[in-house]
């Protein structure tokens, strides 16, 4: 088991460098000189700086004008030693100043919506499989397909409209203005939930339909395996049989999928974030790509990828923990 963990951990390092290199190529793509763009931006704002000195500083720092591998090396060096991801030109700030908060909120919202989708999908999926072709199964299949086919931003718009029109509630953002800068407290958490529950619910529900169908199919596969008959032949009541045996095996595909929730959510949440004005990573990434704010875009891709690698590592660990066949390979 320890060997398994170490092997997986070691695997993370080369993966990280491959991804960072690909990301760097993305950063390299636009033809302009970022330092020049940045300094002209500062001057245009009327900042009183020594243009030549600043330019030279920046060029040295990021290796601009030098061969690509030097630039890559300097970028990585900056990240690994100083946590410096480069400059976000549009924001006129270092990337590291502006992304962490968004990444935190994105992770929180990802985990919360994952929780929501599981809380709905598990009972419904299990019911659907155990009572295959019952009225409840047909109903859940119907709802699952609606959930899969209706775009989540549309759902968000409709619900926001109804909430506003009939309950006079406006949702949007993460916090109310007075809580924005307040330190973390129970009240702030409540405020956060009051602002984001709909987004979490809708992001959760949008993946629930697929989950229900997958769980139902996995479970139906497992329910007819001989070990289930053995469990029944022991005299276990049916619900215990289902929960202890086939469900346990039907979970494997879910656990291995957990690691990929983050990139899916980063991509999937863009429209919702725009509609509900949520400062999540997806929107920032989209904007940075549009405005060729390349260090920002590259850093966002890099960090999301790294978090995904870590997520996959964790789900591998979880899988090995629940499935001895993997552990003892």
Partner 1 sequence: MEGPELLLEVKGLKTYFFLDEGTVKAVEGADFSLLRGGTLGIVGESGCGKTVTAYSITQLIESPGRIVEGQILFHRRLNGVEGSPATTEVVDLAKLRPGSRSICEIRGSEIAMVFQEPMTALSPVHTIGDQIMEVILLHRKVSKKEAREQTVEMLRHVGIPKSETRLDTYPFQLSGGMRQRAMIAMALMCRPSLLIADEPTTALDVTMQAQILELMKQLQREMGMAVILITHNLGVVAEVCEQVAVMYLGEVVEWADVEALFADPLHPYTQALLRSIPKLGQSKKGRLDPIKGMVPDPYNRPGGCPFHPRCAQMIAGRCDQERPPLVRRPDGRTVRCVLYADS
* Token pair recorded at residue 46: 């009327």
Helix (H, G, I), strand (E, B), or coil: what is residue 231? helix
Q: Give the whole-angstrom CA distance, residue 179 versus residue 280.
A: 18
Query: Residue 67 interacts with partner 1 (CB under 8 A)?
Result: no
- Identify the bridge partners of residue 93 per DSSP, sorted by sequence position: 88
Query: Residue 165 interacts with partner 1 (CB under 8 A)?
Result: no
Closest CA to 113 of 146, 152, 145: 152
Q: Give the whole-angstrom CA distance, residue 19 versus residue 69.
A: 15
- HSE (side-chain half, CA atoms, 13 Å) at 114: 18
- From the CB of 221, what's the least distance to partner 1, in Å? 13
| Of positions 76, 249, 274, 317, contacts partner 1 by CB under 8 A | 249
Query: Residue 188 interacts with partner 1 (CB under 8 A)?
Result: no
Q: Give the whole-angstrom CA distance, residue 274 versus residue 248.
A: 38
Number of amino acids touching partner 1 (CB under 8 A): 23
Query: Residue 134 interacts with partner 1 (CB under 8 A)?
Result: no
| Of positions 248, 253, 260, 264, contacts partner 1 by CB under 8 A | 248
Mask for 210-239, x = binds partner 1 (CB under 8 A): --------------xxxx-xxxxxxxxxx-
- From the CB of 233, what's the least distance to partner 1, in Å? 4
- From the CB of 261, what's the least distance to partner 1, in Å? 23
Query: Residue 131 interacts with partner 1 (CB under 8 A)?
Result: no
- From the CB of 130, what's the least distance to partner 1, in Å? 11
- From the CB of 131, what's the least distance to partner 1, in Å? 11
CA distance to 13, 35, 88, 132, 203, per residue, from 76 (Å): 13, 18, 16, 54, 34
Query: Residue 92 interacts with partner 1 (CB under 8 A)?
Result: no
CA distance to 42, 104, 111, 115, 260, per residue, from 201 (Å): 42, 18, 12, 10, 19
Residue among 16 and 127 whose Cβ is closer to partner 1? 127
List contacts with partner 1 (CB under 8 A).
224-227, 229-238, 244-245, 248-249, 322-325, 328
């Amino acid at each position: 088991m320890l060997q398994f963990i170490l092997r997986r951990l070691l695997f993370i390092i080369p993966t990280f460098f491959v991804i960072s290199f690909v990301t760097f190529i993305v950063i390299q793509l636009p033809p302009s000189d970022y330092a020049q763009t940045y300094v002209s931006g500062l001057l245009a704002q009327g900042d009183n700086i020594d243009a030549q000195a600043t330019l030279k500083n920046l060029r040295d720092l990021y290796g601009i004008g030098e061969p690509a591998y030097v630039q890559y090396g300097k970028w990585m060096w900056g990240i690994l030693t100083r946590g410096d991801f480069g400059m976000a030109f549009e924001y006129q700030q270092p990337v590291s100043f502006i992304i962490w908060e968004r990444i935190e909120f994105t992770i929180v919202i990802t985990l919360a919506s994952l929780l929501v989708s599981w809380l709905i999908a598990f009972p419904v999926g299990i019911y659907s499989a155990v009572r295959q072709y019952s009225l409840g199964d047909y109903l859940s299949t119907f709802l699952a397909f609606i959930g899969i086919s209706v775009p989540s931003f549309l759902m968000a718009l409709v619900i926001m409209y109804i909430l506003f029109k009939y309950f006079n509630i406006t949702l949007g953002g993460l916090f109310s203005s007075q809580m924005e800068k307040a330190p973390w407290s129970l009240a702030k958490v409540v405020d956060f939930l009051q602002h984001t529950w709909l987004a979490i619910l809708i992001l959760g529900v949008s993946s629930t339909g697929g989950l229900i169908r997958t769980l139902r199919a996995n479970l139906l596969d497992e329910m007819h395996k001989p070990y289930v008959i053995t469990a029944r032949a022991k005299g276990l009541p049916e619900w215990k049989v289902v929960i202890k045996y086939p469900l346990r095996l039907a979970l494997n595909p879910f656990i291995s999928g957990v690691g990929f929730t983050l990139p899916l959510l980063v991509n999937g949440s863009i429209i919702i974030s725009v509609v509900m004005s949520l400062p999540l990573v997806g929107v920032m990434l989209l904007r940075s790509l549009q405005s060729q704010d390349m260090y920002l875009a590259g850093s966002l891709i890099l960090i999301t990828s790294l978090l995904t690698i870590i997520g996959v590592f964790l789900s591998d660990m979880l899988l090995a923990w629940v499935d001895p066949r993997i552990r003892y390979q």
